[in-house]
Amino acid sequence: MLSVPQKHLSNGMNVPCIGMGTFGSDRYTPAQVSEAVRGAIRFGYRLFDCAAVYGNEDLIGKVFEEAIAGGVVKREELIITSKVWNDMHGKGDVLLSCAKSLRDLRLDYIDIYFVHWPFPNYHAPGCDGDARNPDSRPFFADEFMAAWRQMEKLADMGLVKSIAMSNMTIPKLEQVLPLCRIQPAAIEMELHPAFQQPELFEYCVSRGVQPIGFCPIGSPNRPDRDKAPGDIDPASMPEIAEIARAHGVHPAIVCLKWAARHGQIPIPFSVHPENYENNLRCVTEDPLTDEEMGKIAAADKNCRLVKGQVFLWKGSSSWRALWDEGGTISGWDS
């Protein structure tokens, strides 16, 4: 079994320095994803990034149950995450959503439970990129904190070991962190060589919040609604290709080696054993050099791939409003 280095979260939890994503991107069925989880556990993965909205927690839960009952892995060796979806932020709903994920995943507790997006803007699964929900509205700290209080309650009850946030910005964190009784142990954010988010990354690290990097390979098979002209595929960047040649690996592997050395926890997805096995192995051998790390840092394209435009509210013109690019919370004046 591979010896995968661990990261230590500020609340004392130990987490492998790489995990596996479980979002099938509307391309892979729940059965395919859960079979990949089965193979990944056998290969040595111990961190799995799940979410209610991925629509596959029930099948993945069966795989966890069988692996634990069959002695392949002990429950305490696994770090299993889940996330409350945007339509379940209301009073009591976060608790209900967690209860459903616990039931589906067949667990007594979830290791890290995330607020998936910082606003309750719902869109139907698989909807078109131009779809807008008339009830969508900008971020509002009081509304977010009402959901976060429920997250804190889940932690108090021992149903989740750590609570965490996702798709946050510095202006939003500035508003909510001082209000949190329990600080987030981690924040999930898009991170890959074409979108390095250095300010947000440093902001989190300096406050003891572990960044977890989603789309670490640039999500080449993401749903079409999340693709736009001008998107940059990190695996196609010349700097990444050159380093890949030097190491004799696929450019995807360079993205993961970069992530692991940079300090985030990448959660790459694949249903193909050759790929997910290479992904885990690559953080245990042949690290990138300081010079290669410097080249990748200089090659950042600030190119966000998951723009979240389906969460926009009436009257907002650009997905950039979701990310507070002007340095303040966007929306209420537009």
Ligand X SMILES: NC(=O)c1ccc[n+]([C@@H]2O[C@H](COP(=O)([O-])OP(=O)(O)OC[C@H]3O[C@@H](n4cnc5c(N)ncnc54)[C@H](OP(=O)(O)O)[C@@H]3O)[C@@H](O)[C@H]2O)c1
Residues with catalytic function: 54
- Spatial separation of the C-alpha atoms in residues 222 and 215, rounded to whole Å: 9
**Interface characters, 272-311, with ligand X (x: CB under 6 A):** x--x--xx--------------------------x-----
Among positions 9, 112, 267, 288, the unique one binding ligand X when judged by CB under 6 A: 267
Looking at residue 128, what DSSP letter applies?
Answer: -
**What Cα–Cα distance (Å) separates residue 73 from each residue in 45, 271, 278, 318?**
10, 20, 20, 46
Q: Per CB under 6 A, does 139 bind ligand X?
A: no
**Which residue, 155 or 212, is less far from ligand X as judged by CB?**
212
Helical packing angle, 57-69 and 30-43, nearest 10°: 30
Residue 305, helix vs strand vs coil: coil
Contact 80, 110 (CB under 8 A): yes
Single out the segment in contact with ligand X by CB under 6 A; choices: 8-16, 119-127, 178-186, 216-224.
216-224
Shortest distance in whole angstroms from residue 223 CB to ligand X = 9
Q: Is 125 exposed, middle or buried (0-12, 13-18, 19+ CB in 10 A)?
A: exposed
CA distance linking residue 189 with residue 158, whole number of Å: 25
Asked if 21 is part of the footprint of ligand X (rule: CB under 6 A), the reply reads: yes
Site string for ligand X, 235-254 (x = CB under 6 A): ---------------x-xx-
49 scored as a contact of ligand X (CB under 6 A): yes
The SS3 call for residue 174 is: helix
Q: Least distance from C-beta 192 to ligand X, angstroms?
A: 7
The residue whose two tokens read 């339509």 is 87
**What does the alpha-carbon distance between residue 61 and residue 52 come to, in Å, rounded to a whole number?**
12
- CB 333 → ligand X: shortest distance, Å? 26
Among 139, 269, 311, 323, binds ligand X (CB under 6 A): 269
The 3-state DSSP class for residue 77 equals helix
What CA–CA distance (Å, rounded) separates 300 from 192? 9
If one asks whether residue 94 binds ligand X (CB under 6 A), the answer comes out as no
Contact with ligand X (CB under 6 A) among 167, 196, 210, 309? 167
156 versus 288: smaller Cβ distance to ligand X: 288
Residues of this chain that interact with ligand X (CB under 6 A) are: 21-23, 25, 49, 116, 166-167, 188, 214-222, 250, 252-253, 267-272, 275, 278-279, 306
